[in-house]
A and B are shown apart, each in its own frame.
Chain A
Amino acid sequence: MTGNERAKRSRSSSLSIRLRPIAFIVALLVLWQIAVSLHPDQLLPGPLAVVKAIGELLQHGLLIKYVVASLFRVTWGFALAAILAIPLGLTIGWYRRGEMAFNPLVQIFRPISPLAWIPLAILWFGVGDLAAIFLIFVGCFFPLLLTAMSAVHNIPSVYIDVGRNFGLSTPQFIYRVLYPAVVPQLITGSRITMGIAWLVVVAAEMIAVNSGLGFLIIDARNAGNRYDLVIAGMVIIGLIGLLLDFGMRSLEQVESFRWSYSGD
């Protein structure tokens, strides 16, 4: 076998490996369609009906509008939580006493589902964007706070000693030792938290607002049992969630961050 043939073969095999998950999804969709056509009692719309529903949403300009609305809320809720929780968590984590003081409080708030805040969110902010953003904020705040606290804990003491040894000022120390040492863990934590934010926005939109993908799902059911639209909404939510995770994950590939994932 010549090198050229070998290269061709390995290229085609890597292509077939890459196509495998897609082929699997296609097979499931076909099975789904067959099952639905065998039992046409409308407990579940088939994939073709869902595709048609997505087309309908696109035609009315609703799809883009709802996706933008949901992403807008997630971005604000997540960003506000990150801006507050990460510096606070890093500070608390750095000072052992601060952590001793804050930890019980954090542990009490953490297990409360962000959805439990819905009545208060509506009371404080009314029905609208602010209430939804607040719910996402609450859902992201505690996971990010804990991530930042543990990221500081996990800095090997050697790095801190080296930083002190080379005579860095406090701002230099923060920028050149503390920040690079915690950033990989913050990215991982943010990735998980972004997933939470995307879960919370759907629930929040079912109750607190009248736009967005969560609203689409609840509205499709309430306004005429359009289950094809319900599933269309679910599919879009899944796809966007995947894209968000993909985006966060690509940050982990930045070369100067990669050390902590390669298990040095």
Chain B
Amino acid sequence: MVFERDGKSISVLEDINLDVSEGEFICLVGPSGAGKSTMLNVMGGFLSPTSGSITIDGETVHGPDPRRILVFQERGVFPWLTVEGNIGFGLSQLSSAERNQRIAHYVQMVRLQGFEQTYPSDLSGGMKQRLQVARALAVNPDILYLDEPFGALDSVTRLIMRGELLRIWQTERRTIIFVTHDIDEAVQLADRVVVLSSRPAKIEHVLAIDIPHPRNISAPRYLELRDELLSKIGLAYTV
């Protein structure tokens, strides 16, 4: 992936090859500015790759599609719609009965009962992110791309949100590709952690996290994997 900026071309992603299986939870980590978000945008179809291609179920990605929804770090929910309106945003082709049922289901899943008629300006940061995830899930996507979705939250809320996301992932079984710069987050959530190098980003390492959920975050195996990942990132930081 090459960007043109001020007449200079900047190579952001180089020689990226990654196979993701259905229902897998992948975390992308790497130094800031490496191109994690760019990679997500390319996979989501928001940017077309300068060379190479993204293939999902044998079909090449050309542009964004409701079968793969991108969840943003901030400002992702529409402030002019209520909680219900946001969750129902992608459901306009359904009958109103079906739509209401789907909305009620996901309101419950992300635990926003009682806030159906509330506008996002009256929700906390964590609630807004849950709302964004609910809106994404409501259209029944195959893949969720999450771009540092908990990055703007405080550390306690972040921890709670990880638990919520895992619970939702275990019931819904979508493929999730999750960008983060937080090593602990990656080890707590992912089936596999993909480590990117600094720009131009290459896949430096892929680490399988072979601990079943729920994960004990002070177990020796957890700490071992976390240290392994930290040393990988440490290598990535020393250019």
Q: Footprint of B on A, CB under 8 Å? A: 156, 158-159, 161-162, 164-167, 172, 176-177, 180-181, 183, 255-260, 262, 264
19 interchain pairs (CB within 8 A)?
A158-B72, A159-B75, A161-B70, A162-B76, A165-B65, A165-B70, A166-B66, A166-B69, A166-B89, A167-B65, A167-B66, A180-B78, A180-B81, A256-B80, A256-B81, A256-B119, A258-B121, A259-B80, A264-B121
Cβ-defined contact, B44 with A180, below 8 A: no
How many A-B residue pairs have C-beta atoms within 8 angstroms? Tell me. 60
Complex CA distance for A260 and B139, rounded to whole angstroms = 27
Tell me if B155 counts as interface (CB < 8 A to partner A): no
Among A165, A177, A183, A262, the residue within 8 A (CB) of B69 is A165
Cβ-defined contact, B70 with A259, below 8 A: no
| In the complex, per-residue mask of B113-132: 1 if CB is within 8 Å of any chain A CB, else 0 | 00000011100000000000
Cβ-defined contact, B80 with A164, below 8 A: no
Please name the residue on chain A nearest to B138 by beta carbon.
A166
Query: Across the interface, which residues of B come within 8 angstroms of A176, CB to CB?
Result: 89
Cβ-defined contact, A262 with B46, below 8 A: no
Interface residues of B in 48-99 (CB under 8 A from A): 63-66, 69-70, 72, 74-76, 78-81, 89-90, 92
Query: Across the interface, which residues of B come within 8 angstroms of A181, CB to CB?
Result: 80
| Chain A interface main SS type | helix
Please name the residue on chain B nearest to A255 by beta carbon.
B119
Cβ-defined contact, B119 with A259, below 8 A: yes
Q: Contacts A259-B119, A259-B120 known; A165 to B66 CB distance under 8 Å?
A: yes
Cβ-defined contact, A165 with B44, below 8 A: yes
- Distance (whole angstroms) from the CB of A251 to the closest CB of chain B: 14
Query: Across the interface, which residues of B come within 8 angstroms of A256, CB to CB?
Result: 80-81, 119
Please name the residue on chain B nearest to A261 by beta carbon.
B121
Complex CA distance for A177 and B77, rounded to whole angstroms = 11
Complex CA distance for A164 and B89, rounded to whole angstroms = 12
Cβ-defined contact, B64 with A264, below 8 A: no
Please name the residue on chain B nearest to A179 by beta carbon.
B80
Cβ-defined contact, B79 with A260, below 8 A: yes
- Residue of B74, B89, B120 ringed by the most chain A CB atoms within 10 A: B89
Complex CA distance for A177 and B78, rounded to whole angstroms = 8
Cβ-defined contact, A166 with B139, below 8 A: yes
Among A165, A167, A259, the residue within 8 A (CB) of B121 is A259
Cβ-defined contact, A259 with B79, below 8 A: yes
Query: Across the interface, which residues of A come within 8 angstroms of B46, CB to CB?
Result: 161, 164-165
Q: Contacts A158-B76, A165-B44, A166-B139 known; A262 to B121 CB distance under 8 Å?
A: yes
Cβ-defined contact, B119 with A156, below 8 A: no
Cβ-defined contact, B119 with A166, below 8 A: no
Complex CA distance for A181 and B80, rounded to whole angstroms = 8
Among A159, A161, A167, A264, the residue within 8 A (CB) of B120 is A264
Q: A161-B46, A161-B72, A259-B119 are known contacts; what are 5 more A-B pairs with Cβ within 8 Å?
A: A166-B139, A180-B80, A181-B80, A256-B80, A256-B81
Cβ-defined contact, A172 with B76, below 8 A: no
Complex CA distance for A30 and B120, rounded to whole angstroms = 50
- Distance (whole angstroms) from the CB of B78 to the closest CB of chain A: 7
Query: Across the interface, which residues of B come within 8 angstroms of A159, CB to CB?
Result: 75, 78
